[in-house]
Amino acid sequence: MRKTFLVYLVSIAAFFGPFTQTIYSPLLPELARRLQASQDAVNLTIAIYPIFFACMQLVYGPLMDRFGRRKLLLIGFMFYVCATIGAALSETVAQLILFRALQAMGVAAGSVAAITIIGDLFEGHKRGRSMGIYQMLVALGPGLGPVVGGIVGQHYGVDRLFWLLFACSLAFWLVLFIGLPETRTAHASGGQFRLRQMTAVLTHRIGLAIVVLGSVQYAVFYTLLVLLPNLLVDVYALTPSRIGWLFLPISVCIVIGSMIGGRVQEHVEAKKLLLLLASFNMMSVLLFVITASLSVPALATGLAIFGLSLGLSLPVQITILSNEMPNHRATATGVYNFFRYVWMTIGPIAGTFFYRFGYKIEFFVFVLIFIAVLFFMYYRFFGRMELSASDKSYS
């Protein structure tokens, strides 16, 4: 019971990251009027967030391996709480941009700490199920944020939204302070950090395959999210309200898939399962290309299948990564998250540029890239390879 409580505790800490990123996105026009700023400048307060969130993954990972999980999570989350006060008090868009960057720098500790602590607490099948809980709560964040922000902002304004976020995050920090023990194990690295610890993740036989898969999946996922409104307007001429509802299938199915994926690991060997689920995810992208222009229900079905396949594979990835790299678990998690969040940003930028050539061509190219990744994964997972020095140091 105690360990289950800790799983939900650290998963909620990770949930605050994506939740905060999108919480006031429905209020951007109102925010532009209140700050007397251009829409582009206000949009930057959203765009700046994932950049700092991604970079801090590389900072928190090694620090948590050296100094412990609890201390760094408490410091990072309190930094986020204080930055939220700054966001609530911001009177110019420049101030809000600054405090949004500081929010991201602080709350980034949550995602690294959650995966690492779950890895510390559990072994085998229980670790996989717990990773499913983590991924489920993280997947809720981006979808739930705009819902809460829209309701609170409509009735009380964007200022009180930030103050509500401050109150909730401060209360949660107190729960963390009281309820979270240190979980760093005796065999985990506590020595001086060296850059090769970080680069070794990318030369590790299994670690590199996981990083590459996660990066491609996030690039496809966020490209789809960004381009979907344009596609729905161009092909079906849908109104904004109807477009909003079509984000629901993918969000709900990611959550469902994450819950199931954590449990399926108990019955199938993890690497074989991940290769199967990644293949399913690739085929779902191809299905989307085929069905997107047939009808709105067919498109919604394609989105749901993509969300389900993505959700199924995510907890398996982080379980394998945690199993393979126990001595530098936080560093490995930080590198994995960094590349996912970087490609989460790069994917939509490239996708928006190439959209002019047609979305079908664009996502078919993603399918070809996905197929190459599957062959690469098979080679790294099951090919005959000598155990590299980095593999030995992480084992």
324-373 pLDDT, tens per residue? Answer: 887 777 888 888 989 998 898 888 888 878 888 888 998 999 999 999 99
The SS3 call for residue 283 is: helix
Domain-embedded: residue 189: no
For residues 357 and 223, what is the distance between their CA atoms, to the nearest angstrom? Answer: 15
**Phi/psi of residue 230, nearest 5 degrees:** -65, -45
More confident residue, 231 or 83: 83
Domain-embedded: residue 192: no
165/241 same-domain check: no
Domain-embedded: residue 283: yes
Domain-embedded: residue 190: no
232/110 same-domain check: no
Q: Please tell me whether the overall predicted TM-score, pTM, comes out greater than 0.75 for this model.
A: yes
Kindly compute the dihedral angle of the four CA atoms of residues 304, 309, 315, 318, in this order, to the nearest 10 degrees.
-130
End-of-domain residue from the set 136, 154, 183:
183
- Does position 394 have pLDDT exceeding 60, yes or no? no
253/382 same-domain check: yes
167/28 same-domain check: yes
Domain count, the chain: 2
What spatial distance separates the first Cα and last Cα of the chain, rounded to whole Å?
29
Domain-embedded: residue 344: yes
338/373 same-domain check: yes
pLDDT digits (tens, 9 = 90+) for 161-208: 999 999 999 999 999 999 999 987 665 555 555 556 667 778 888 999
For residues 216 and 306, what is the distance between their CA atoms, to the nearest angstrom? Answer: 14
Domain at 366, CATH number: 1.20.1250.20
% of the chain beyond a pLDDT of 70: 92
For residue 76, the enclosing domain spans 2-183
